[in-house]
Amino acid sequence: MRIDHDALVIGAGGAGLWAALELARAGVSTGVLTKLYPTRSHTGAAQGGVCAALGNQEEDHWEWHMFDTVKGGDYLVDQDAAEVLAHEAIETVIELEHMGLPFNRTPDGKIDQRRFGGHTRNFGEAPVKRACFAADRTGHMILQTLYQNCIKAGVQFYDEYHVVDLLFEGGDGGDGGRAAGAVAYRIADGELHTFGAKAVLLATGGNGRMFSITSNAHSLTGDGMSLVYRHGIPLEDMEFYQFHPTGIYGIGILLSEAARGEGGTLLNADGERFMSRYAPKAMELAPRDMVSRAIYLEIRDGRGAGPKKDYVYLDVRHLGRAVIEEKLPDITEFARVYLGVEPLTEPVPVQPTAHYAMGGIPTDLRTRVVRDEANTVVEGLFAAGETACVSVHGANRLGTNSLVDLLVFGRRAGREMTAYCRAAEAPSIAADVEEPVRSELEALRTRPEGESPSALKAELATLMMDNVGVFRTARMMATAVAGVAAIKERYTRVRVRDTGRIFNTDLLEARELGYLIDGAEAMASSAIARTESRGAHSRDDYPERDDVNFLAHTLAYRGEAGPSLRYKPVTITRFEPKPRTY
Partner 1 sequence: MQVDLRILRFDPERDAAPHWESYRVEAEPMDRVLNLLTTVKAEQDGTLTFRRSCAHGICGSDAMLINGRNRLACKIRVDQLGKKITVAPLTGLPVVKDLVVDMDTFFSKYRSVMPFLIADSPAPERERRQSQADRARYDDTTKCILCAACTTACPSFWAQPSYVGPAAIVNAHRFIFDSRDDAGDERLEILADKDGVWRCRTIFNCVDACPRGINITRAILEVSRAVVERSV
Which 512-571 positions form the footprint of partner 1 (CB under 8 A)?
A: none
Q: What is the Cα 17 distance to its own chain's centre? A: 16
* Shortest distance (Å) from residue 450 CB to partner 1: 12
- CB-based contact 237:519 (threshold 8 Å): no
C-alpha neighbours within 13 Å on the C-beta side of residue 486: 10
* Shortest distance (Å) from residue 451 CB to partner 1: 12
- The span of 71-79, 147-155, 357-365, 540-548 binding partner 1 (CB under 8 A) equals 147-155
Among 15, 28, 253, 403, binds partner 1 (CB under 8 A): 253
- The span of 2-10, 425-433, 502-510, 548-556 binding partner 1 (CB under 8 A) equals 502-510
- The span of 236-244, 310-318, 337-345, 415-423 binding partner 1 (CB under 8 A) equals 337-345
CB-wise, 29 or 454, nearer to partner 1? 454
The reply to whether 368 belongs to the active site is: no
134 phi and psi angles, rounded to 5 deg: -125, 95
**100 is an interface residue for partner 1 by CB under 8 A:** yes
Long-range contacts of 548-552 (CB under 8 A, 24+ apart): 551/75, 551/76, 551/577
**321 is an interface residue for partner 1 by CB under 8 A:** no
CB-wise, 257 or 506, nearer to partner 1? 506
- The span of 96-104, 225-233, 466-474, 572-580 binding partner 1 (CB under 8 A) equals 96-104
Tell me the three-class secondary structure of 106-170, residue by residue: CCCCCECEEEEEEEEECCCCEEEEEEECCCCCHHHHHHHHHHHHHHHCCCEEEECEEEEEEEEEC
Q: Active site residue: 121, 288, 539, 558, which one?
A: 288
Q: Mind giving me the DSSP string for 367-414?
A: -EEE-STT--EEEEEEE-STTEE-SSSTTSPPTTHHHHHHHHHHHHHH
Site string for partner 1, 31-60 (x = CB under 8 A): -----xx-xxxx-xx---------------
**490 contact partners, CB below 8 Å, separation of at least 6:** 451, 456
Number of residues that bind partner 1 (CB under 8 A): 55
CA distance 374 to 72: 26
CB-wise, 73 or 208, nearer to partner 1? 208
Among 3, 80, 87, 104, binds partner 1 (CB under 8 A): 104
Q: Mind giving me the DSSP string for 14-28?
A: HHHHHHHHHHHHTT-
Nearest to 25, CA basis, from 196, 152, 198, 197: 152
Indicate which residues carry an active-site annotation. Answer: 288
**Which residues contribute to the site for partner 1 (CB under 8 A)?**
36-37, 39-42, 44-45, 94, 97-100, 102-105, 107-111, 134, 137, 140-141, 144, 148-149, 151-152, 188, 217-219, 253, 330, 334, 337-340, 452, 454-455, 496-498, 500-506
